[in-house]
Amino acid sequence: MKIADSGRPAEVLLVEDNEDDVIITRRGFNKSDLPVNLHRVENGEECMQFLRKTGQYADAPTPDLILLDLNMPVKDGREVLSEIVADEQLRRLAVVVLTTSESDQDLLTMYDLRCSSYILKPVDFKEFQQVIKYIGEYWFTIVVLPNGRSE
């Protein structure tokens, strides 16, 4: 079932250490007019705690979509995606890499790790907001996502 048809807000986990990018992402989802609960963690270690519901994230929802930055402190996006795909409970989560890295090696590595999409962050504020709006519309009105909630 598409998230937009489910009658509930989409749960999005933004893994991002740049506060400006967090603000732009929030505004982009607000412009999409889709109900989205945006959760944010600042690094890969916090991301894995959120996904595994440990520590302060014991009551965290299972995200419908993860927006993952590559270059972060503590644990980077490459390490995070490696852990996600190796974990039986997490490997079906949709992970969109949202990064400034134009490296061919990063692109290939992330697709080798089975990321769902690789999107370059636009440097222009309005373009970035528009990309986030399109991400929401695509992932929550067109794509059918697996139900990631544990039964």
pLDDT in tens, 45-69: 999 999 999 999 999 999 999 999 9
**85-131: per-residue pLDDT in tens?**
999 999 999 999 999 999 999 999 999 999 999 999 988 888 999 99
Cβ proximity of 126 and 31 under 8 Å = no
Six-digit token string for 94 = 């949709």
Can you give the pTM of this predicted structure?
Answer: 0.92
Whether residue 115 contacts residue 65, with contact meaning beta carbons closer than 8 Å, is answered with no
The dihedrals phi and psi of 128, each to the nearest 5 degrees, come to: -60, -45
Per-domain boundaries in the chain: 3-141
- CATH fold for the domain made of 3-141: Rossmann fold (3.40.50)
